[in-house]
Amino acid sequence: MAGSPASNCSNTLVDHVILDLDGTLIDTETLLDEVYAKIVWKYGKKWEWDGIGLIKRLGKRPLEVAASLVEDYELPCTADELLEESLSHVETMWSRAKALPGATRLLKHLRAHKIPIGLASNSPAKNIRSKLAYQPGWLESFKVIVAGDEVKEGKPSPEIYLEAAKLLKARPSSCLVIEDSPTGVIAGKAAGMKVVAVPSIPSKIARTLYSGADSVLNSLLDFRPELWGLPPFQDWVGKALPIEPWCLGGPVIKGFGRGSKVLGIPTANLPTAALGSQLSQHVCGIYLGWAGLSNRGVYKIVMSVGWNPFFDNAAKTVEPWLLHDFPDDFYGEELRLIVVGYIRPEANFSSLELLIERIHEDAEIAKAALDLLPFSSYQDDKFLTTPLAKQ
């Protein structure tokens, strides 16, 4: 998945932003999958945790999703019955829906600069307001909200975006849409608007599904407002973006064997299987932070999270590089990480030499940034020096 903005957005000026909700600003797909899995299991079916089914459901109205599931899993119920059952479960779960990386930052930024923001979601109005109620400050950020049950046709029809523009008193050509689904991208483009796609679908599956978007990003962390004539973010520190810190750890294991042998960069690999659910919450990209290694000390790190397009990993991995020369290996030793900043999205490279050059550039960025606040303040965090069993 391309992580850099498409060239189509150059010299494009917009003065209104219209956002999708589910999968773009908040992660509701994870909760819905839990509910659907329980329902199909009740009927003796096995839920498929892959991106193929997600492609068919993403961006659709709830009844359309229910109809798709009834057909795909050959369920002995109607779409209306499945929808009613699923809603009875999810209405109590919205408090667990997490804001996606960069969502709150984007809303605060646009609101601070008085950029009119609209929300256009295929979800019913009642559900939209229930979800927003658990995200502090979000509801008042939107000048208009258009729900799927307030228009005749949902996405991929452009109706919902045209209605949002009408209520904003904006020309469609002056609106920027940010969407996570191929269905939403089609709707935004059909409305005559510029569209930034931030795919919810795993990157390997999604590569060909978002070609209609003007720009495709790995996450909202990569959104650059100035490319669209909007005020730029001013929160980067030393070429890195401060983020809400997250921690992980485990024993150092042998990885692919390419860190030292192929790249000349000795990464300290952690067991991906044990970290799978945690990694799924974080976008692919290059991060910086601090590492505590057994009794050796605390060190600066630069770290990749993702599928590593150049090597085309089969699974999402985390590969931290401790920016220190060690005299020996430390396989089996306990490694604790605090990730505190974001450098760039995951990217592919045309040659191994270019990949190695960029990794070293990332390392230099990390080294310099970690000497600055707020990054430097985490060097003394107790998590780094307290064994995981005692946390």
Among 43-57, 203-217, 374-388, the range scoring the smallest mean pLDDT is 43-57
pLDDT digits (tens, 9 = 90+) for 110-163: 999 999 999 999 999 999 999 999 999 999 999 999 999 999 999 999 999 999
Q: Which residue has the higher pLDDT, 150 or 330?
A: 150
Q: Checking DSSP bridges between strand 16-19 and strand 297-306, what pairing results, if any?
A: unpaired
CB 33 within 8 A of CB 49: yes
**Given 180, 214, 222, 319, which residue is catalytic?**
319
DSSP string, 365-383: HHHHHTTSTTGGGGGG-GG
In this prediction, residues 29-36 reach a mean pLDDT of 87
What integer pLDDT is reported at residue 59 of this predicted model? 79
**Given 20, 163, 179, 362, which residue is catalytic?**
20
Q: What separation, in Å, do the N-terminal and C-terminal C-alpha atoms of the chain show? A: 37
The pLDDT-based confidence of 209 (bands split at 50, 70, 90) is confident
Is 319 an annotated catalytic residue?
yes
What integer pLDDT is reported at residue 363 of this predicted model? 97
pLDDT digits (tens, 9 = 90+) for 359-376: 999 999 999 999 999 999
The reported pTM is 0.88
The pLDDT-based confidence of 294 (bands split at 50, 70, 90) is confident
pLDDT digits (tens, 9 = 90+) for 340-351: 999 999 988 889
Among 112-121, 188-197, 319-328, 373-382, the range scoring the smallest mean pLDDT is 319-328
Q: Which DSSP letter does residue 237 get?
A: B
Q: Which residues contact 292 (CB under 8 A, 6 or more apart)?
A: 298, 335, 336, 337, 383, 384, 385
What integer pLDDT is reported at residue 50 of this predicted model? 63
